[in-house]
Structure 1
Amino acid sequence: MQRTFRVEGMSCTACAASVESILLSLKGVAAARVNLNEATVWIDYKPDQVTLAEMKEALEKVGYSLHEDLLLNLEEEEQHFRLLQSRLRNRVVIAFVFAVPVFVLSMFFHHRHEWYLWQAVLTLPVLWAGWNMIVPGFRRLIAGHSTMDSLVALGTTAAYIFSLSQMVLAKMGMLAGRGIHLYFESAAIIIAFVLLGKYFEERARRNTNRSLKQLMGLQVKRVIRVGLMQDEEVDIQSVRVGDLLRVPPGSKVPLDGCITEGTTYIDESMITGESMPVFRQPGDKVVGGTLNQSGSLVIRVEKTGADTLLAGIIRQVREAQASKAPVQRLADRIASVFVPVVIVIALLSFIAWIIFDPDHNIYRAFNALFAVLVISCPCALGLATPTAIAVAMGQLAQKGILIKNAESLERMTQLDAIAIDKTGTLTRGTPQVNSVFSLTPLDSQTWQAIVAIESRSEHPLARAIVACKPSRLVDIAVEDYQYTAGMGVSATVGNQRYLIGNELYIR
């Protein structure tokens, strides 16, 4: 079974590698691919060997949470994003409100011992603001799946504990004649700025997936269901297979189904790429997300929710974004060992300063340890490639081009020939009048009558004729206008009867 789940708690490419590693360690999981920008994971697993509960439990042990709902609905996705952004923004505000005073006290009043306690106390709310980063960081470090959060957690916690111990020892008189070094401001400022970076990173991820959200925006939220006595407007989530839905002209077809009543022209360009609307009548299939241009329809629902074609397109785009190009897999391998290597280097730096420093100054050693832990960050290495791939695939999906996987996108650089269908791809996507052929010359009065009649039609060819011959239509009276679906229109202008349509209609 192959499914895509939403994952919360990931902040860097090391987190993505950690989630994949944990899932792949479970018996029954054949493959797992994380889409960091979408915060989702695609899993190929055998339900008879591993359950969803077991996968959730394995991830929760190291601070990640697995959710079944993919938030395919744009409104739900936006609401979820706003909630996460609001929580993170509140933590950023709290962190800076308390971190700035700690920084001021440390920089300008460091010689005033009576302010040391205030630094320790004011740093506690900052640690609380970063608690959702510190605790998972340690849990992942203990489990052997260290991430960027592990580096920050180690560095800031070590700084706070070291500073607190120095303050206590100085109070007890055990540091007489020796200077006291506090790092409360370092722990506070670093947590505040890391949280701020996470806030902007979340906003960037949202912008990265804007094209995918536009696809999700094609989904209808409210529909008109045909009842025994009268029609009723209901939420699309309550619609079931077999229900009859009314689709007014100018609205989107809500779900995949079959027309039972009415004729119309439907713009299916989001599915086929063809700019010309297609004539549909009872018995024809319609696809959710396409646009009903003219007539009123009644359709019988055949597919709902994740089974619709539009939901399938969104799912394919997400799975394609989750796939990894060869260069991305290389970056992930480097990032997966980056954090442990940084921790080892930090410890070696500390030991080296203790051994080779002539004064054997523990404070300088701690400065080196702290600097290596906090400054090192593998995010830029791991986020650049998946972000670029997500943006590219999202933009292509918006233009109706679906990429099977990231490897295919990368291999496009080696192409020497491209085959492209013409309509809506190499053309403007809208019909235009290039030339006029007539058995007899058309005078200005005839053109004005044609334009006046066609201005009442919503057909793309009618719009092209109107755009080709703009005319003042105020004084032109159009009478007895009749529209025949799939054929053409007829009307009377002055004392002349006009027929405009296909060859069969004219005959």
Structure 2
Amino acid sequence: MSDQKMQVSVQGMSCASCVGRVEKALKSLSQLSDVSVNLVTHKASFSYQAPVVASELMTAVEKAGFTLIEQKLELSIEGMTCSSCVGRVEKSLKDVVGVLEANVNLATQRASVRVLEGVTVDQLVQAVGARGYTAHLIAEGEQTTDELATRQQAEQLQLKKRLIFAAVLAIPLFILEMFSHMIPAMHNFVESNIGMQNSWYFQFVLATLIMFGPGMGFLKTGFKNLVNFAPDMNSLVAVGTTAAYSYSVVATFIPHLLPEGTVNVYYESAGVIVALILLGRFMEAKAKGNTSEAIKRLVGLQAKTAVVVEKGENIEKPIDAIVVGDILLAKPGERIALDGVVLNGQSYVDESMISGEPVPVEKTTGSQVIGGTINQSGALTYKVEQVGANTLLANIIRMVEQAQGAKLPIQALVDRITLWFVPVVMLLALLTFVVWLIFGPEPALSFALVNLVAVLIIACPCAMGLATPTSIMVGTGRAAQMGVLFRKGEALQSLKDAKVVALDKTGTLTQGRPELTDFICQADVESNQALALVAAVENQSEHPIAQAIVQAAKEKQLELPVVEQFNSITGFGVEAVVAGQRVEIGADRYMQKLGLNVADFAEQAQRLAEEGKTPLYAAIAGKLAVIIAVADPIKDSTPAAIAALHELGLKVAMITGDNRHTAQAIAKQLNIDEVVAEVLPDGKVAAITRLQQAFGSLAYVGDGINDAPALASADVGLAIGTGTDIAIEAADVVLMSGDLTGVPNAIGLSQATLANIKQNLFWAFAYNSALIPIAAGVLYPINGMLLSPIFAAGAMALSSVFVLTNALRLRRYKAVYV
């Protein structure tokens, strides 16, 4: 074997000594020779003969203090039909030097490959091609869903043509042979009017047309893979049908080669099996098309054109021609074309397809609008801020596609089993043939052949390969419709195992902004008048609490009077003269300093303290007039969400940087089990570790930049979609609506999806395992029962259809907690 050359990119080199360290690290690997490192290009090149494990290269360079740059590639794979195909494509990709990881998905017909920079797409394509499959690169931003849908439609059309052709020929074949066996009158009619030999000639013609017409695909692929020592389901079908067909040809044309009493034909087995398997494939293809329905709907939300406002004119343009900064018009009933900010107009927008929330959202000047949502009542003029692959809808589609293409840990076991399943089945079929030939009744050769074919056909592992990916596709698609985005498919499995849910307080349990929650006046004080006076004073301050009071006055459309002699008293409060009256605002100690007794509000102050709120007081014209509380209010959906999590048997914890007293009060109000208060961002990570040790697997829910480390360190991180981009990037799951009920819904859907996968796997494995012995004839000595190859083919097709149909049930999953 001649030397192979490779080049990889190195990160972190800055001088000649760095080059020396990297060269030394690579030379320490015995498989490498001619090692050369270039500081200018940051490339390392080397030759090798023996296979080089990419992870060993990474480790060697990292020990020297540098990093090899890696990249992720998405490939579209054509020609895969069962789970053993998946295993072979994965192995071919992993055998390419420089490949760190390869995951292949049968349902999406895609491969996700993590490689060292330097591995070419051609290398990967050639490796897949050598195994008999076709691959091509999916470019970033390419609309893969449209491509997959087009391919699925073409596959359905081709299968439909093959199926019709096979069925038209197989039906008379089946009637001619099987009815002759089952109905004596039919046997007599054939024998007296056609002649048994002529019947066999006619069956030969029909079977030959089926085998070398619509059945040719099975034969070519199946025998090619068999010769390459990589048998798959096509190999099982090819061997089984060819055995039945070839035996029948010998019986028809050169019967003297067969032992006496074994001259029978099985043309109907070969022909009907091909037709039945094509029927199963066709039903499979239709069902697989339905699994990506959620993605198709999301893609359908993207506008094709938009109305651009240019120099006072409205011009309709294709969406691809719109650029950031363009001004667009959305009329009532139209779809918002792209993400932007409202410049003029007032309307309500239906954002349910993005957030899962049914209530329309009010939009006014300055509001953000999202491409794909529907403008309902008024016209909106908005400025485009994101186009193309950067829009929220494009990001959602990308997230869902990535999650659908993911491989759960449970799938790894399935892949290991199915890789060996077909070779084992072929050995079992051979053993069945030998046992029947030696120990079976006469005609032993006929019995041996029929049971060999039945075992080969019944054992096709299509259902095993589809069991997991189809459930993932449907589950993650349904989640997206409910406003729950699984950024990583693995979170589907790990979320199911969560024992404790830890929640950030601000912006997660609460609204994330202070609001005026209590404004209680003395009996002789008019509320709106007092609020106007207090807000006028607080309007002089930029403090968030002051602004919350001002905002409350604005919402009531109160006119704020003119303020004079404003003064801030450090550590106590503020004072001013408003409309000729002195107004003083501050804590209880300020009132005491002014000689005012706060006892009149003792009951209200006690209640506020229990709710975790710190009261303020206002004196007007020298008299105590109002007790005020400003707090970050709990979201309306929070109590129901906490109760739902408890119903699921989960512990609920709150981790917050807020003071302990406020945290404890909120925890008591919401029935939260564990409270960790007064912690900094790094303290949140430590708190998560303690909770994991105490309870087990942990899901963390947060929305801020300071939550990113906690989201990353949790077993599963869930980001509130209304939060920051950094928090969302660090999370495994994104809750688009900002509604905490998304957490129990995500967990419920996770549990439903994993249960669905287990049902599929049980059916696929139990079904095959149970029917293989029956196909081999174990019941024959007991009750004389044998499984006809024709029924075996029908049963095999039904197995895959059952798995797909069961997965599609997830499309009807209802959000329990709304």
Provide TM-score, normalisation by structure 1. 0.73
1:78 CA drift (Å):
4.9
| 1:214-271 deviation per Cα after TM superposition (whole angstroms, max 9, x unaligned) | 2222212233355679655444345556665443343222234566x53444454554
Counterpart mapping for 1:95-134 below 5 A: 95-107=166-178, 108=180, 109=190, 112-127=196-211, 128-134=213-219
Q: CA deviation at 1:190?
A: 0.7
3-state DSSP of counterpart to 2:484: coil
Give the letter for the 2:245 counterpart. Answer: Y
SS at match of 1:2: strand
SS in 2 for 1:37: coil
Equivalent residue number for residue 66 of structure 1 = 135
Query: Which residue number corresponds to residue 459 of structure 2?
Result: 376
Q: Return the alpha-carbon distance in structure 2 between the equivalents of residues 399 and 174 of structure 1.
A: 67
Contact kept? 2:108, 2:148, Cα under 8 Å: no
Query: Which structure shows the bigger proportion of residues in strand conformation?
Result: 2
What corresponds to 1:341 in structure 2? Answer: 424
Cα distance in 2 between the residues matched to 1:241 and 1:56: 37
Distance 1:404 1:181, change over 3 A: same
Does 1:140 pair with 2:193? no
Confirm or deny that 1:50 pairs with 2:101. Answer: no
Instruction: State the AA in 2 paired with 1:169.
Output: I
Instruction: Report the residue type matching 2:282 in the other structure.
Output: Y
Q: Which of 300, 303, 316 is residue 220 of structure 1 equivalent to?
A: 303
Contact 2:355 / 2:482 at 8 angstroms: preserved in 1? no
* Offset of residue 76 of structure 1: 6.4
C-alpha spacing 1:239/1:125, structure 2 compared with 1 (3 Å): farther
- Amino acid of the structure 2 residue aligned with 1:56: V
Q: Quick one: which of 262, 284, 290 aligns to 2:344?
A: 262
- CA distance in 1 between counterparts of 2:497 and 2:258 reads 67
What is the CA deviation profile of residues 306-357 of structure 1, one whole-angstrom value per residue up to 9, with x for unaligned ones? 3433222222212222222232221222112111110111122223333445
Distance in 2 between residues matched to 1:503 and 1:418, nearest whole Å? 38
Q: Is 1:168 the counterpart of 2:168 in the alignment?
A: no
For 1:244 and 1:69, the matched residues in 2 are separated by 33
Q: Decide whether aligned partners of structure 1 residues 410 and 360 sit closer, same or farther in structure 2, where only a CA change above 3 A counts.
A: same
In the alignment, the residues of structure 1 paired with residue 265 and residue 162 of structure 2 have an alpha-carbon distance, to the nearest angstrom, of 24
- Equivalent residues in 2 for 1:25-424, closer than 5 Å: 25-46=95-116, 48-51=118-121, 53-68=122-137, 72=143, 78-107=149-178, 108=180, 109=190, 112-127=196-211, 128-170=213-255, 174=257, 178-225=261-308, 231-237=314-320, 239=322, 245-257=328-340, 261-265=343-347, 266-271=349-354, 275=359, 277=361, 279=363, 281=365, 286-293=369-376, 294-300=378-384, 302-304=386-388, 306-357=389-440, 361-418=444-501
Pick one of 77, 86, 93 that aligns with 1:16: 86
> Aligned letter for 1:114?
N
Report the Cα offset of residue 178 of structure 1.
Answer: 4.7
Distance in 2 (CA, whole Å) between partners of 1:65 and 1:242 is 42
Aligned equivalents of 1:176, 1:154: Cα separation in 2: 22
Q: Which of the two has higher C-alpha Rg?
A: 2
For the Cα contact (< 8 Å) 1:94–1:125, is it kept in 2? no
With CA pairs under 8 Å and 6+ residues apart, which has the higher RCO, 1 or 2?
1
Residues 134/257 of structure 1: CA separation in 2 closer, same or farther (3 Å cut): farther
- On the 8 A contact 1:73/1:216 being kept in 2, the answer is no
SS at match of 1:402: strand
AA of the residue aligned to 2:84: A
* Equivalent position SS for 1:49: coil
Following superposition, the deviation at residue 188 of structure 1 comes to: 0.8
Root mean square deviation, CA, Å: 3.5
Which runs of 5 or more residues in structure 1 are unaligned? 427-500
CA contact (8 A) 2:418 2:461 kept: yes
Inter-partner Cα distance in structure 1 for 2:373 and 2:135: 33
Q: Hey, what's the Cα distance between the residues in 1 that align with 2:73 and 2:405?
A: 12
Q: Percent identity?
A: 36
2: CA distance between counterparts of 1:382 and 1:74? Answer: 21
Q: Does 1:503 align with 2:584?
A: no
Aligned pair in 2 of structure 1 residues 88, 241: CA closer, same or farther (>3 Å)?
farther
- Is the contact made by 1:224 and 1:234 (CA closer than 8 Å) also made in structure 2? yes
Q: CA deviation at 1:193?
A: 0.7
C-alpha separation in 2, matches of 1:23 and 1:90: 33
Task: Write the letter of the residue equivalent to 2:222.
Answer: G
Aligned residue identity for 2:127: A
Match of 1:7 among 55, 61, 77: 77
Instruction: Indicate the larger mover: 262-271 or 155-164.
Output: 262-271
Cα 1:315–1:94 shift into 2, 3 Å: same
| Partner SS, residue 383 of structure 2 | strand
SS of 1:181 mapped into structure 2 = coil
SS in 1 for 2:456: helix
Report SS of the residue matched to 2:485.
coil
User: What code does the residue aligned with 1:140 have?
Assistant: N
Q: Secondary structure at the match of 1:202?
A: helix
Contact 2:243 2:449 in 1 (8 A): no
Partners of 2:310 and 2:419 lie apart in 1 by 57
Name the CA shift for 1:235/1:88 in 2 (closer, same or farther; >3 Å): farther
Question: 1 CA distance for matches of 2:133 and 2:315?
Answer: 42
* Amino acid in structure 1 at the alignment position of 2:556: E
- After TM superposition, the score normalised by the length of structure 2 is 0.47
**Secondary structure of the structure 1 residue equivalent to 2:254:** helix
Q: Secondary structure of 1:219's partner?
A: coil
- What secondary structure sits across from 2:490 in the alignment? helix
1:442 corresponding residue in structure 2: none
For residues 132-187 of structure 1, give each alpha carbon's deviation from its aligned partner in whole angstroms, at most 9, with x where no partner exists: 333222233333332222211221122222322332213xx555955422221111
How is 1:447-462 mapped onto 2 (pairs within 5 angstroms)? none
State the shift of 1:118 in Å: 1.7
* Residue pair 1:37, 1:209 contacting (<8 A) in 2 also: no
Change (3 A) 1:80 1:367: closer
Distance 1:365 1:160, change over 3 A: same
User: Mind listing any 5+ residue stretches in structure 2 that lack a counterpart?
Assistant: 1-70, 181-189, 510-553, 561-818
Letter in structure 1 aligned against 2:423: P
Corresponding letter in the other structure for 1:292: N
Residue 50 of structure 1: CA displacement? 2.3
